Structure 1
Amino acid sequence: MTDGVAPMIGGAGTTGGARMTVGAGTFADIGALILRAALMIMAMMLPLVLANVRHAAFSSLSARRHRAIAGFVAGFLALWIPAQLLIEGAAAVLGSYAGWLAAAAVVGLAAAAWEASPMRRTRARRCHATAPLAPRGWRADADCIRYGVMTGRHCVVSCWVLMALCSAAGHALPVMGAVFALQWAARDARWNALRWTAAVLVAVSVADAGLLRA
């Protein structure tokens, strides 16, 4: 009796049960991807816009500053999470066809070209733009979310290539650390030496990660 039942559990004969198992696994996988993308953005991108977060907080009444920050972060993540998921998918496809090291090299060259372009510097300045925000009521909530979306849009356009490099490098911690240093240095033109030092660190980190994964 048990021999006849066992093969049917999760098999083709019990499509309903199998469908439930696959569905649960799929939703869990999607949730894990979204959570990983959110954590990645909060670790790599959110520290770069802390001035914007402070602007949202101090434009509101003191009793609702945490609410203002939450609204800004929600708007910021609403732009970045879908973008990061697309970046991860594109990096995975490129890596599967070209190989990990070739994918990292291609994305690294694209990142270097983008970093040197005038459009990158223009977009980076827009990342730190401020906006008038209502101090109370539903308008304040809407303004904070809208401000987060606006900041996220400029940030995605400015930094997506470097985030693609992190994805192509398999989220190796040395690469992520070097990319973060490069992004931090790029916020201020006076830190040009630090910026180029960080760029070299990115290249060395990618090469080291490639040797480790080879």
Structure 2
Amino acid sequence: MKTSKRIRYSISISILAVSAVFWVILLFNPGGIMTVKHCHVTLEGPSKASLQMMLQMNPVSDLMIGWTLMVLAMMLPKLITPVQYIYDRSFKSRRLGSALLFISGYTAVWIVMGFFMNALIVGLNLLLPNSYIPAIAIGVIAVIWQFSPVKQRCLNRGHDHVSLAAFGSEANRDAFMFGMMHGVWCVGAGWALMLFPMLLPSGHNVAMMVVTFIMISEHMEHPKFPKWYFTFRLKLLRVIIAQTKVNMKKALNLN
């Protein structure tokens, strides 16, 4: 069964609206959940006491809430196509539930990754508080990873669409596992890009927006043979430019 254009459009608008809500929360940063608070480091260097103080100032729960909000804000637009795929292949009564299970499985993978990411972020902030060195280092790694065949392989696998059972627990399992599989390949493709904004002492909101634009753009590209590609995947920018030209021509013709 195929969903209508109207339903596909509704899916896109709904997901983008939810993503926008999470972006608003991130930008307002309630309780400073997106900012790692620093503690005093002794002259002898990082110590157990300074680590304990940093964890008191940055509870794991707050770090994980901030990470999850960031994942949902940045990644939800990338899930429009697979959610539409689920709607195409599910009975009407199961569509919403299967879509939510898919998103839950996808988010679960990023949450697990978030524990390791936040541990690294806290450790680096303890060793080099308010320093741009960690962000620069991961930025270099992200650029190298961006052009690597491993990255391209992960992007290719992110386009995989699995068969989904139609009924019962098998349908629930397939939707959840589809989300987890999609999450694994998404982590493989974008782990360095996601980590970079979190290591910046300042300007992480702008960095998150840039990274989101890059990740959505590369997800829109067609699969390619895995090899070193020294090119930027900016299909979203090309689409925006092309659409702008079309709208400008329409406006000129109306005048």
Q: Structures share a fold, TM > 0.5?
A: yes
- Corresponding position of 1:62: 92
Of 205, 219, 223 in structure 2, the residue corresponding to residue 187 of structure 1 is 219
- 2-structure distance, mates of 1:150, 1:141: 14
Task: Name the CA shift for 1:180/1:129 in 2 (closer, same or farther; >3 Å).
Answer: same
SS at 2:64 equivalent: helix
- Corresponding position of 1:162: 193
Task: Name the CA shift for 1:197/1:150 in 2 (closer, same or farther; >3 Å).
Answer: closer
Query: How many residue pairs were aligned?
Result: 172
Task: Name the CA shift for 1:149/1:113 in 2 (closer, same or farther; >3 Å).
Answer: same
Q: In the alignment, residue 216 of structure 2 is paired with which amino acid? A: W
1:40 Cα deviation after fit: 1.1
- Corresponding position of 2:158: 127
- Corresponding position of 1:141: 172
Unaligned runs of 5+ in 1: 1-25, 199-214
1:178 Cα deviation after fit: 0.6
Q: Describe how 1:103-114 pairs up with structure 2 within 5 A.
A: 103-114=134-145
- 1-structure distance, mates of 2:232, 2:104: 34
Q: In the alignment, residue 67 of structure 2 is paired with which amino acid? A: A
- 2-structure distance, mates of 1:33, 1:97: 18
CA contact (8 A) 1:104 1:169 kept: yes
| RMSD (CA atoms) | 2.6
1:144 Cα deviation after fit: 0.2
1:35 Cα deviation after fit: 2.4
- Corresponding position of 1:45: 75
- Corresponding position of 1:33: 63
Q: TM-score under structure 2 normalisation?
A: 0.61
Q: In the alignment, residue 183 of structure 1 is paired with which amino acid? A: M
- 1-structure distance, mates of 2:83, 2:118: 26
- 1-structure distance, mates of 2:212, 2:170: 34
If each structure's helix is expressed as a fraction of its own residues, which one has the higher value? 1
- 2-structure distance, mates of 1:125, 1:148: 16
Task: Name the CA shift for 1:53/1:109 in 2 (closer, same or farther; >3 Å).
Answer: same
Q: In the alignment, residue 173 of structure 1 is paired with which amino acid? A: N
- 1-structure distance, mates of 2:174, 2:93: 17
- 2-structure distance, mates of 1:164, 1:67: 31
- 2-structure distance, mates of 1:127, 1:45: 13
Between structure 1 and structure 2, the one with the greater Rg is: 1
